[in-house]
Amino acid sequence: DKRHKQLGKIFKESIGPVDAVFVSDPKLIKTIYSLEGKYPKHFLPEPWVLYNEKYDSKRGLYFMDGEEWRFHRRILNESLLRSDPNAGLEDVHDLVLSKFINDWQKHIGNEFTVDEHGFYKLSISFFVASMMGSTYLDYEEVFQEDIDKLASFIHLIFVESCNLQLMPAKLSAFLNVPAWRRFVDYVKSALDLGKLLTEKMMEKRDENSFLAKLMNEDIPKDDVVRVVVDLILGGSDTTSNTIHWIVYELGRNVEVQNKVAEIPTIDLW
């Protein structure tokens, strides 16, 4: 925000080995997306690309290009846009949110440090519940250990990805620096656990769930697993960091807190 105030709505700046363009104007962002074309190019962190190349790792939607990307994106769009994706998920969403809120309510009246790990768990739990549908209510405890471990791995991947932005990824891999070794270990662990979690979700899914619809499409099971795992890995960082930032801003703005407190209580938990 400070740099945008200094340099304007759009500027270019180098971050380590990456030349990045920063855009803050909603109209400009909309224009950029409208000009993407039939096969948009995706921004992929260099460490991730190098990992896929070195370890022959086939990944999901974020790493697809061209017709392969368009085919899978179309299927996801149809499943998500055909009807309200949240319809019928009120109970499972309430369960996930109530557990998160209840954990925080234990600290009412006391100071406590907000745990990033909790935001990652919330993000993954919400995604798993949304993919599975109503059966998540019956199997929620079955998934908690995997979700807890996966939250740790994804957070550590984010940390090491940031560390690896300080020098070219190929140089980091060639020198086999500690950050690269840790990154490789965390990514492998996250992909393996994500696959295991997705296969459990497939076994225990609701037949009317989003995951069931995806499995009924003309896509091999392995490809469905890849897509779901990458949605978990790719979405957990952005979602948890966004929630974390919102809570931080809310915590330092008493006026907004008072306005939120005036909202009539609804039966969520």
Say yes or no: 188 and 230 in one domain. Answer: yes
In a domain, 97, yes or no: yes
Read off the pLDDT band of 265 (50, 70, 90).
low
Please indicate whether residue 70 or residue 188 has the higher confidence score (pLDDT): 188
Q: Which domain holds residue 17?
A: 1-35
- pLDDT value at residue 20: 86
Over range 162-173, report the average pLDDT: 90
In a domain, 269, yes or no: no
Average pLDDT, the chain: 88
In a domain, 7, yes or no: yes
Most confident range (mean pLDDT) of 44-53, 181-190, 214-223 is: 181-190
Most confident range (mean pLDDT) of 9-18, 27-36, 178-187 is: 178-187
Over range 198-207, report the average pLDDT: 94
Read off the pLDDT band of 266 (50, 70, 90).
low
This prediction's pTM: 0.84
Say yes or no: 25 and 116 in one domain. Answer: no
Over range 222-249, report the average pLDDT: 90
In three-state form (DSSP H/G/I as H, E/B as E, the rest C), the secondary structure along the chain is CHHHHHHCCEEEEEECCEEEEEECCHHHHHHHHHCCCCCCCCCCCHHHHHHHHHCCCCCCHHHCCHHHHHHHHHHHHHHHHCCCCCCCCHHHHHHHHHHHHHHHHCCCCCCCCCCHHHHHHHHHHHHHHHHHCCCHHHHHHHHHHHHHHHHHHHHHHHHHHHHHHHCCHHHHHHHCCHHHHHHHHHHHHHHHHHHHHHHHHHHHCCCCCHHHHHHCCCCCHHHHHHHHHHHHHHHHHHHHHHHHHHHHHHHCCHHHHHHHHCCCCCCCC
- pLDDT value at residue 269: 43
Say yes or no: 123 and 173 in one domain. Answer: yes
Please indicate whether residue 103 or residue 198 has the higher confidence score (pLDDT): 198
Q: Is the pLDDT of residue 132 over 90?
A: yes
Say yes or no: 29 and 82 in one domain. Answer: no
- Count of domains for the chain: 2
Say yes or no: 10 and 63 in one domain. Answer: no
pLDDT digits (tens, 9 = 90+) for 181-201: 999 999 999 999 999 999 999
Say yes or no: 29 and 54 in one domain. Answer: no
- pLDDT value at residue 65: 85
Say yes or no: 213 and 166 in one domain. Answer: yes
Over range 145-170, report the average pLDDT: 93
